[in-house]
Structure 1
C-alpha cells in the first residue's frame, strides 16, 4: 500500500463543505464513544447499527456518504480495542481510555462517494455535502493506477490548506543488490546519530532554529481577542510555522534513513521508549526536536521496501559497556568520552554504536525486524516485531515530495 497526496484547490464554499464533512465524521465517532461508555458490552457490529440509527435521526449525518460515516465508527472502535488490548497486556500507567475528539482534521471515503475526472486531475465528491469538484495539484500521476487499486480517499485539513490522499494497493518493494555491510546506530542529542564506523550525522535542530519565529507568532495570538476573526487568523499563521518545522524534521529523517538502508544489509538501532524519555523535563524539548521516532519509522519502512534487515536493540548498558573488553564503565550523560581500565579510549556514542551492532549480529541467519535483549545472546533471545511494522508500513504517507 502507498499513499499519494495532492493539494486540493477549490472555492471557499467547497472548503466549508469539507469542514462540514470532517465535523460529521467527528460527530459520529464521538457518539459511538458515548454509546460504548453507556453500554460497555457492545462490539463493532452494534456500533455499526448505532451509526445507522444516527443517520436516520440526524439529517446532516445522512448527507455524508455512508462509508465515510462507517469510518467514524471504525475510528471509535479502534480506540476502544486499543484500550482493551493495553489492559490485557498490563501496560503500566495510563491505558489510553477512549476520549472524545475535539479537533478532527480528516474525513475518509472508501470506494464510493467520489469519482475521478477523465484526465484524473480533478476529483468529484458525489454525496450531499456539496463538496463537488476539487482540482488536484501534485507531482504524482494517477493514470498509472487502475481505479480498482484505489481503496480509500481521505480529505485532510492542515494549516496551509486542504489535501486529498489516495490509498493505492500496489507492490512497492524494490529488489536491491546486497552490499555485504552491517552498521550500528546510536542516536543522540549532540549528533543526530553516530554509527559503528565512527561517522556522525549532524543534528539539524529545526525547532530550535524556528523557536524565535514561533515565539513571535505566539505573542501575536495572545494579543488578539478570544473568539475574534483576527485571533483565528493568528492561530493559522502560528500553525503554519509549526507545520513547516514538522515537515523539515520528517523530510530529514526520511532522507537519512533511506541513505542508511540503501548502503547496508543490516542496520541495528536502539529500541528507545520516547514516551518515557521525554519525562525528563530538562531534555524533553531537545528529544522531541531530534525526531528519533520518525527516524526509526522510516528505517523500518525502507527496510521492508528494499529487503534489508533492521534490528531494534535494547539500549540498556550499551553506553556503559566497553566494546573492547566488555567491562562496565559507569558514566554520566555529561561524560562524552569512554575511558576504560584496559586502556581503550573512544567517543561515548561510537562505543555504544559498536555494542549495538554486536548485539544485532547475535541473530545471524534471521531476516526481518527484531528486538533484542542485551542480557541474553543467541537466536532464542530475539522477539519479532513485525506486527507493529505492518501497521506502520500500511499507514505511512509514502515518500511524498509534495507535502
Structure 2
C-alpha cells in the first residue's frame, strides 16, 4: 500500500512538471526527460522500473490527448489522480526484477515491495512474459496480471465444427438472436441490481465526508459494481464459446455503439448489455478456434417483406 500511495504521488508530481513546462515553453517533456528528472525519486517504497513506467504512462496519455485533439474528439487532458482513481502498479523487466518462483506459489518482486508475494496461479503462462501489473480490486484483493508476448497463430488444428455459417443479431429484448432462430435472454445485470445500488449509494451520501464509515460505504458500492461487471463478463464468455467453436464463420453487425448511446431512452440498457465487449470476446474466441467473425454494415439489414409486410 505504501508503494501504491507513493507511486500516485510521483505521477501527480510528473503531471505538475508537465503542466509547468507547457506554461513556460509551450512544449511537453518526453518520457525519457521525465524519467531522468525523477530518477531516484522512488525512495524506499517505489522501484526504479516502476518510476519509468509512470513516465511512460503519462507520456502515452499526453500523446493520446494530442491525437484526439487533432481529430476533434472530446478527450480531456490528463488529470491528477486521487486515491480512489489509482489502483495499479506496473513492474518491468520480467525475469530480472520480477518472476514466478519455481513452486508456482510465489511471485518474486523487488525488495521494496517485499521480495515475495504469495499468489494463486489459476492458469498456465503462455508466451514470453514481459511485464507484471499488480492491481487492487474493489473486493480488497490484489491481482497479479502477467502480460505475455505470443507469436501470431498461423496454423490451426482441423476444425471439428459441423456448421458452416451463422448470423447473430444483438438486441435489448433478447440479448441475441441467431439466424437459426435461437435466442439468448438478456440478463440485465445492472437493472436487476439497481435497487441494491440505490440503497447503498444513499447510505454513502448520508455518511460524513472523510469518515471511516464513508470509506466503508464507498467500498460496498464499489463491490456491487465489481460483482455486476463480473456477472456480465461471465455471461459473455459462456454465450460466445458455443458460437465461436461451433461455426466456421460468424456474421455480426458492425454497430456504432458510441452513437447509439446518445439515445437517452436506451443508453442505460445498451450499456448494460455491453454488446461491444461481447463482440470482442466472440472475435477473440473464434480466432483461437481458427474461425472467423465478419462485421457487416448494419444499414438495410432489417427490411420489410414485400408479401406479408413483416420486418425481417
TM-score, normalised to structure 2's length? 0.86
Counterpart of 1:106 (choices 68, 78, 88) is 88
Deviation sequence 1:336-372 (CA, Å, 0-9, x none): xxxx342253xx5xx3xxxxxxxxxxxxxxxxxxxxx
Greater CA deviation, 310-319 or 285-294? 310-319
CA, structure 1 residues 109+35, in 2 after alignment: closer, same or farther (shift >3 Å)?
farther
The equivalent residue for 2:143 is 163
Verify: 1:34 aligned to 2:24, yes or no: no
2:243 to 238, 260, 283: 260
Distance 2:230 2:102 in 1: 32
Which residue of structure 1 aligns with residue 8 of structure 2? 23
The partner residue of 1:67 within 32, 36, 49 is 49
1:27 to partner: Cα distance:
3.1
Q: Which residue of 2 aligns with 1:269?
A: 252
State the shift of 1:227 in Å: 0.5
Q: Secondary structure at the match of 2:233?
A: helix
Quickly say closer, same or farther: Cα 1:193–1:54, change in 2 above 3 A: same
Greater CA drift, 103-112 or 166-175: 166-175
Change (3 A) 1:181 1:36: farther
Per the alignment, residue 173 of structure 2 pairs with: 190
* 1:181 match: secondary structure: strand
CA root-mean-square deviation? 2.6
- The counterpart of 2:199, out of the listed 202, 216, 224, is 216
- Render the CA deviation track for 1:89-131: whole Å, top value 9, x for unaligned: x35x52x243214212211111143343331211232243x44
Distance 1:220 1:42, change over 3 A: closer
Q: Who is 1:343 aligned against?
A: 308
Report if aligned partners of 2:164, 2:247 keep a CA contact under 8 Å in 1: yes
Pick aligned residue for 1:133 from 111, 116, 127:
116
Partner of 1:202: 185
> 1:258 & 1:279 partners in 2: Cα distance?
30
Q: Does structure 1 conserve the Cα–Cα contact (< 8 Å) formed by 2:42 and 2:51? A: no
Q: Which moved more, 1:177-186 or 1:282-291?
A: 177-186
Shift of 1:283: 1.0
What is the Cα deviation at residue 42 of structure 1?
4.2
Change in CA separation of 1:138 and 1:18 when aligned onto 2, cut-off 3 Å: farther
For residue 155 of structure 1, report the CA deviation from its aligned partner. 0.6
Q: Does residue 245 of the first structure (1) align with residue 228 of the second (2)?
A: yes
Contact 2:261/2:270, CA 8 A, preserved across alignment? yes
Provide the residue aligned with 2:31 in structure 1.
47
> Cα distance, 1:207 vs. partner?
0.8
Cα-to-partner distance string for 1:263-321 (whole Å, 9 max, x where unaligned): 111111121222222221111111111111110110221132122121112212322x2
Q: Aligned residue pairs: how many?
A: 302
Equivalent position to 1:81, from 54, 63, 74: 63
CA positional deviation for 1:187: 0.8
What's the offset of the Cα at 1:23?
A: 1.8
Shift of 1:171: 5.0
1:263/1:195 CA distance change after superposition, 3 Å: same
Trace 1:246-325 onto structure 2 (pairs within 5 A). Answer: 246-319=229-302, 321-322=303-304
Unaligned runs of 5+ residues in structure 1 are 1-15, 323-339, 352-403
Distance 2:206 2:152 in 1: 49
Q: Structure 1 19/86 Cα, relative in aligned 2: closer, same or farther at 3 Å?
A: closer
Query: Which residue of the partner structure matches residue 130 of structure 2?
Result: 151
Distance in 1 of aligned mates of 2:86 and 2:5 = 11
The answer to whether the 8 A contact 2:31-2:55 is kept is yes
Q: CA deviation at 1:226?
A: 0.7
Are 2:213 and 1:230 aligned? yes
Task: Give me the TM-score of the superposition, normalised by structure 1.
Answer: 0.68
SS in structure 2 of the partner of residue 265 of structure 1: strand
